[in-house]
Amino acid sequence: MKNLLSAGLKKLRPVAPGATTAPIGRNRAQVVAVAAQKGGVGKTTTTVNLACALALTQGQRVLVIDIDPQGHVASSLRESVRIAGTSLSDILLAHSPRDLMEAVRDSEIEGLSLTPPDKALNETDTRLSTRVGREYILQGALRTARTLFDTIIIDCPPNLGNLTLNALVAADHVLVPCDMSILAFEGVADLLGTVAIVNDRLRHPLSVLGILRTRVDGRTQQINEAIGGALDENYRHLILDTAIPVNSALAQAQAAGRSIFQYAPQSRGAAAYKALAAELAGRLAAPAESSVAQ
Ligand SMILES: Nc1ncnc2c1ncn2[C@@H]1O[C@H](COP(=O)(O)OP(=O)(O)O)[C@@H](O)[C@H]1O
Ligand SMILES: [Mg+2]
């Protein structure tokens, strides 16, 4: 169950081994944090398959940053774990500013790069607590990456610690997965409260890209209507058109260490994430019109 990404991603290599900075590019990446203050709602599944869909079907250059200590985005990448190199913790804990590109690896999926899994992030979260300006470290480290990619997606941990705050302050937008459960529904309010704190106290203009309904099971109509209705009533303007159905192929793909596009390209899960990529690519192209500032 540790294999979560494509076998095609197994042979990772550093973008610029030993280099302190990568060349500046001409892109202006939009940074999206995938966050929910509850585990198991589909954050990692969404990060991985949305990133692949943007790269494979929208022709984008995409970077995935795995800031969750669980390392689920890339825990299948055993070879990458053995690569000695810079980790996200090295960047976040450095006493003088460092460039995230030092930690970025290319994948064998055209257009997709990622940061390696970093089990030390748990301790890093605690160690950051004593640092002045701790919430702004990732934001500063992303300057070069923003010029090299079209979209940067950050997979967040389920708690509101220093790592999640770094992700939210580094991001332009937050995407909030919500499965059809009352706990996930309540978690949406918590997350939106956090966005307000980021806007007001940390003075960072983070906007909500949308609430993504995940793991929607056609067999549980009553629950869908209850949770879907409550979401609609409270956050109608934030709910994305695309919903992700329950699809065992998505869980199987994760277990097999492959994206849904390689594991089961004809599945309902693949179709849903392809539709999500198209919907979000449209929103990200015109963020001022379609995303909603809090
Ligand atoms: N749409 C879906 N259909 C079926 N299983 C899913 C779906 N989305 C996620 N899962 C499974 O649910 C579990 C939790 O998903 P995950 O993306 O890891 O959640 P999170 O990152 O929010 O903790 C995983 O085993 C994953 O394979
Ligand atoms: Mg996860």
- pLDDT, one tens digit per residue, over 121-175 is 999 999 999 999 999 999 999 999 999 999 999 999 999 999 999 999 999 999 9
The protein residue whose alpha carbon is closest to atom 6 in ligand 1 is 251
Alpha-carbon distance 175 to 162, whole Å? Answer: 18
**Residue 84 pLDDT:** 55
* Mean pLDDT across 68-87: 64
CA angle 66–69–72, rounded 5-degree value: 60
**Residue 219 pLDDT:** 86
**Residue 9 pLDDT:** 45
Q: 17-31, 181-195, 228-242: which has the minimum mean pLDDT?
A: 17-31
**Residue 77 pLDDT:** 36
The stretches of 236-286 forming alpha helices (DSSP H) are 248-255, 260-263, 268-285
Q: Which atom of ligand 1 is nearest to the CA of 39?
A: 23
Show the domains of the chain with their CATH numbers.
7-174+248-278 (3.40.50.300)
Alpha-carbon distance 239 to 51, whole Å? Answer: 20
Q: HSE of 213 in the Cβ direction (CA atoms, 13 Å)?
A: 25
94 CA from centroid of ligand 1 (Å): 33
Q: Which pLDDT band holds residue 68 (cuts at 50, 70, 90)?
A: very high
Q: Which pLDDT band holds residue 16 (cuts at 50, 70, 90)?
A: very low
52 CA from centroid of ligand 1 (Å): 16
Q: Is the CB of 276 under 6 A from ligand 1?
A: no
DSSP code per residue over 151-214: EEEEE--SS-SHHHHHHHHH-SEEEEEEESSHHHHHHHHHHHHHHHHHHHTS----EEEEEEEE
- For residue 81, give the H/E element and its range: helix 78-82
Question: pLDDT of 142-154, one tens digit each?
Answer: 999 999 999 999 9
Q: How many helices (H) and strands (E) does the chain have?
A: 13, 10
Question: pLDDT of 235-291, one tens digit each?
Answer: 999 999 999 999 999 999 888 888 899 899 999 999 999 999 999 999 988 745 444
